[in-house]
Structure 1
Amino acid sequence: MAKVLAIANQKGGVGKTTTSINLAASLATTRRKVLLIDLDPQGNATMGSGVDKADLEYSVYELLTGQCTLQQALRKTGKAGFDLLPANSDLTAAEVELLDMTRREQRLRDALADVRERYDYIIIDCPPSLNMLTVNGLVAADSVIIPMQCEYYALEGLSALVKTIQRIGQTLNPSLQIEGLLRTMYDPRNSLTQDVSAQLAEHFADKLYKTVIPRNVRLAEAPSHGLPALLYDRQSRGAEAYLALAGELVRRNRLAARQAATAN
């Protein structure tokens, strides 16, 4: 049964899509079966995975609005090694259309029910706002990875996001929890970075990933080539960091599974 991870932050430009693509690719290299879902109308995760968002017969929009099956919308990413549920600007229309639909918050979760057995991980790249698409992502997810920069305003946004996750957990998805906090665009020479990191460690303890994602030119260049950093430049610091994150994620999940088995 797949573990479903939403990559979410209401603040834009924190590395959600970069994290979604590169974590998916890194998990795929460990021979895990991975599905990446692009839930952002900008379609950046789609393009960054090597799929042309302008050339889609079916996308997540048709899936959410009941015009196709998940199998019809799925695309292979070739060398990247994971399956993709793509998106483009058509998805903007789903915002309005979902309002009149039954189970509007559960549309994605319902669509994934039949394929969860086929994957080890399903990663959802959420848009940078709290809208019906993000709610669908959070309702479908088991847990949330929060990418964030170590800057002052990020802490304010984090507080709002945690409250949103708690509200979703109380109403629509009782099992939803925070999987971990990921520090992105990390610059250890910056004193504010150190201060914010210390606050995160104090308040979130073991939820804070030890792995940090550095500022890295190769990470920024890779999407324009339609490739994860791992395939664009495997030796880059960015690619190595996401491989380390995948390893940390798998180890955490393995430990949690063992502890749950022992408790039962």
Structure 2
Amino acid sequence: MTKIYAIANQKGGVGKTTTCVNLAASLVATKKRVLLVDLDPQGNATMGSGVDKSELEETIYDVLTNRADIADCLVVSEEGKYHVLPANGDLTAAEVEMLSMPNKERLLGQVLQQIADSYDYILIDCPPSLNMLTLNALAACDGVIITMQCEYYALEGLSALIGTINQIHDLLNPKLRIEGILRTMYDPRNSLTNDVSAQLHEHFADRVYRTCIPRNVRLAEAPSYGQPVLVYDRQSKGALAYLALAGEIIRRNELGASSTPMNSEVAQ
């Protein structure tokens, strides 16, 4: 059964796109069929997958505004070996157009259902804000993978995000859950990192992934070459971490891990 995950956090620079691209490539390495949905007008996930956003004739913008069928807009990441529903700056206009469309919160979910059976995993790279595009992602997915740095302000942002997730769970998507919390740019030598990590474990228990994504130069360099780090440097710490994350996600699904109740009261 297809799993649809939104990679989300309203804070920018916390590794959402890096996670989306590298988790997609790592899942493919385990023989899974993967679709990456770029829902960010910046198009970074598209470019990081080796697809030139400036040369695209049709994108997710055309899908959401009923200008094209989703099957006609999919492209293959030659580097990552997964499919991409790409984005570029045109997507900025989609949010305005969607406001006047019926069922505007469910547009993405409706189009993904047309092709969902072709994939084992669909990963949605959300923009760094809680806007109509992110709302569509949360209404369409089974679970949210929250990427965050272990710092004080990240906890404040996490509290707001969980409040939004709870609201969408109640109003739009009763199957929505926190799939997992992924600690990115992780440095265990930092005492604040360890303090925040401990608080996450206290409040979210097994929803916190055991895998942490370290600060890694090769991981930071890979997007400039339009490659997942698994292609750029398979032996790097970043590549090994994302392979471990893919394995952890697959094991959770195979074990049918029960959902931890969502809690909007995060320690500050």
Q: What TM-score range do you get, normalising by the shorter chain?
A: over 0.9
1:1-264 aligned at under 5 Å gives the runs 1-256=1-256
Tell me the secondary structure at the aligned position of residue 58 of structure 1.
Answer: coil
Which amino acid counterpart does residue 31 of structure 1 have in structure 2? K
Q: Distance in 1 between matches of 2:9 and 2:114?
A: 27
Give the C-alpha shift of residue 95 in structure 1.
1.2
Deviation at 1:30, TM superposition (A): 0.6
TM-score normalised to structure 1 length: 0.97
SS of residue paired to 1:81: coil
Q: Indicate the SS of the match to 1:109.
A: helix
Write out per-residue CA displacement over residues 6-51 of structure 1, whole angstroms, 9 at most, x where no aligned residue: 0000111000000000000000011100000000000000000000
SS in 1 for 2:95: helix
Q: Which runs of no fewer than 5 residues in structure 2 stay unpaired?
A: 260-268
Counterpart-to-counterpart distance in 1, 2:217 and 2:125:
22
Q: Distance in 2 between matches of 1:62 and 1:119?
A: 21
Q: Give the C-alpha shift of residue 231 in structure 1.
A: 0.1
Per-residue deviation at 1:151? 0.1
TM-score, normalised by the number of residues in structure 2: 0.95
Render the CA deviation track for 1:168-208: whole Å, top value 9, x for unaligned.
00001111000000000000000000000000000000000
CA distance in 2, matches of 1:81, 1:52: 16
- How big is each residue's C-alpha offset from its partner over 1:110-168, in whole Å with a ceiling of 9 and x where there is no partner? 00112111100000000000000000111110000000000000000000000000000
AA matched with 1:48? G
- CA deviations 1:39-79 (Å, max 9, x no partner) are 00000000000000001111000000000001111001113
Distance (whole Å) between structure 1 residues aligned to residue 193 and residue 79 of structure 2: 35
Aligned partners of 1:154, 1:31: CA distance in 2, in Å? 34
8 A Cα contact 2:33 2:118, kept in partner = yes
- Alignment match, 2:262: none
Question: Which sections of structure 1, spanning at least 5 residues, go unmatched?
Answer: none
- For residues 212 and 23 of structure 1, the distance between their equivalents in structure 2, rounded to whole angstroms, comes to 13
User: Secondary structure of 2:197's match?
Assistant: helix
In structure 2, what is the Cα distance between the partners aligned to 1:205 and 1:83? 33
Structure 1 residue matching 2:137: 3-state secondary structure? helix
What is the percent sequence identity of the aligned residues? 66
Q: Give the distance between the partners of 1:237 and 1:182, measured in 2 at CA.
A: 16
Q: Kindly report structure 1 stretches of 4+ aligned residues shifted beyond 4 Å.
A: none
Q: Distance in 2 between matches of 1:118 and 1:47?
A: 23
Matched residue count:
259
Distance in 1 of aligned mates of 2:121 and 2:237: 24
Q: Structure 1 or 2: larger helix share?
A: 1
Q: CA RMSD in A?
A: 1.1
SS in structure 2 opposite 1:78? Answer: coil
